[in-house]
């Protein structure tokens, strides 16, 4: 019962983030926000289902000591879902959207102690990713996502998320020979976050 409720909570959060994204597009006159439009609803659902599962996996593995921490985590993962949704369709997201998850990442440690496991390797990996971003081989948004996960959960969780996201991306795009084109990596990282939460 708890798992089912958590899944519904995660899916609702992902759907809310996707709905906010489509509403933003409508406000910017880029796309029409119409619940009756099948293609829009289909796109929203296609992304919201794996994102909702990722949020649910992250939530169900936490031992919540208070409703405040649950609310903090729900908001945190919802904002990450919004970043991933935006990246999936535009290969980018508004920089201002990084602020809420950054604040929420550090707010979690008002309730939980910081887990420094894997800090050194994560720091080295962060420098490597930043170098790749500087050389334009990787988006800076992916580097920020990695840093936020390290700050919110743990450096080890961030490294596992990156590895899971890379493996998932390779498996899905293995037969796609258009890899010279820019590929939105953040959705894979977000689902990788759920995978590592489920396994570890």
User: What is the structure's pLDDT at 55?
Assistant: 84
User: What is the structure's pLDDT at 44?
Assistant: 64
User: What is the structure's pLDDT at 29?
Assistant: 47
What are the structure tokens assigned to 141, written together? 């948004």
User: What is the structure's pLDDT at 2?
Assistant: 59
Under DSSP, the state recorded for 78 is H
Chunked into runs of 10 residues, the chain (200 residues) has average pLDDT values of 65 74 60 51 69 82 75 87 85 84 86 77 88 86 92 90 91 69 85 88
Letter string b/e over residues 7-19, b meaning 16 or more CB atoms within 10 A of that residue's CB: bebbbbbbbebbb
User: What is the structure's pLDDT at 176?
Assistant: 65
User: What is the structure's pLDDT at 36?
Assistant: 47
Q: State the total domains in the chain.
A: 1
Distance CA 28, CA 88 (A): 18
In the chain the beta strands, taken as DSSP E runs, fall at none
Give the length of the chain: 200
pLDDT, tens only, 70-106? 888 888 988 898 888 888 888 888 888 888 898 888 8
Distance CA 85, CA 186 (A): 8
Provide the H-helix boundaries in 28-61. 38-60
Distance CA 8, CA 53 (A): 9
> Using only C-alpha atoms, what is the Rg of the chain?
17
Boundaries of domain holding 23: 2-199
194, 56 in Cβ contact below 8 A?
Answer: yes
SS3 at position 7: helix
Distance CA 95, CA 101 (A): 11
Distance CA 5, CA 103 (A): 27
Distance CA 83, CA 64 (A): 25
Q: Is the dihedral of CA 146, 117, 152, 187 positive or negative?
A: positive
Distance CA 117, CA 35 (A): 45
């Amino acid at each position: 019962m708890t798992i089912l409720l958590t899944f519904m909570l995660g899916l609702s959060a992902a759907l809310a983030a996707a709905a906010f994204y489509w509403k933003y597009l409508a406000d910017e006159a880029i796309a029409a926000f119409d619940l009756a439009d099948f293609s829009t609803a289909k796109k929203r659902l296609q992304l919201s289902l794996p994102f909702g599962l990722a949020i649910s996996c992250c939530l169900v593995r936490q031992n919540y000591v208070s409703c405040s921490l649950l609310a903090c985590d729900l908001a945190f993962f919802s904002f990450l879902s919004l970043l991933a949704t935006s990246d999936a369709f535009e290969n980018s997201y508004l920089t201002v959207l990084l602020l809420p998850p950054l604040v929420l990442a550090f707010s979690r440690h008002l309730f939980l102690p910081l887990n420094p496991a894997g800090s050194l390797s994560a720091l080295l990996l962060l420098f490597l990713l930043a170098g790749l971003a500087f050389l334009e081989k990787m988006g800076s948004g992916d580097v920020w996502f990695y840093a936020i996960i390290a700050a919110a959960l743990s450096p080890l969780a961030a490294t596992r998320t990156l590895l899971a996201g890379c493996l998932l991306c390779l498996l899905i795009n293995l037969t796609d020979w258009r890899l010279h084109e820019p590929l939105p990596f953040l959705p894979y990282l977000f689902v990788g976050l759920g995978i590592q939460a489920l396994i570890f």
